[in-house]
Amino acid sequence: MRFREFEYQLQIKEHHLDTFGHVNNAVYLELFEEARWEMITEGKYDLQEIKATKQGPVILEVNVQFKRELVNREYVKIISKGTKVEGKIMYLEQKMFKSDGSLACQAVFTLGFMDLKSRKLIFPPIAWENAIGLEKVEGQG
């Protein structure tokens, strides 16, 4: 199996900043989440689908590394890509790049897929796998 990359671009705005004039640490997580929502919405697994099926993704763990500061009105690009699936658990890597191409931040998210009625993790449906860019390689599971 392999994953397609998803690219999302945005501009840093005043509301993203802290008193030091750069992006607040918690905002990086919000920007990564914004990119994930765009990825799954583009992949046809949007909020409406989550509400209809009462099933959706949950973050179980995140590891974030801050590399370079981001400042007001700077353009950034976020690349999101799954790295592996282990049963009900999936790993997604997101990297945020400055306009000069340097890495500003990277994070690895551990995700599960939850049934909101039973409040338990379940195996994700094919529609979800498609939305996150999972591609089955011929000859592999």
Write the pLDDT tens digit of every residue in 107-136: 999 999 999 999 999 999 999 999 999 987
Q: What is the pLDDT of residues 42-92, one digit of tens each?
A: 999 999 999 999 999 999 999 999 999 999 999 999 999 999 999 999 999
Using 50, 70 and 90 to split pLDDT, how confident is the model at 139? low
Q: Which residue has the tokens 């998803």?
A: 6
d(CA 101, CA 123): 36
Fold of 2-135: Thiol Ester Dehydrase; Chain A (3.10.129)
CB 110, CB 94: distance < 8 Å: no
CB 7, CB 94: distance < 8 Å: no
d(CA 136, CA 141): 7
Domain coordinates in residue numbering, the chain: 2-135
Looking at residue 140, what is its pLDDT?
57
| Integer CA distances (angstroms), 48 to 16, 42, 44, 45, 51, in order | 27, 13, 10, 8, 5
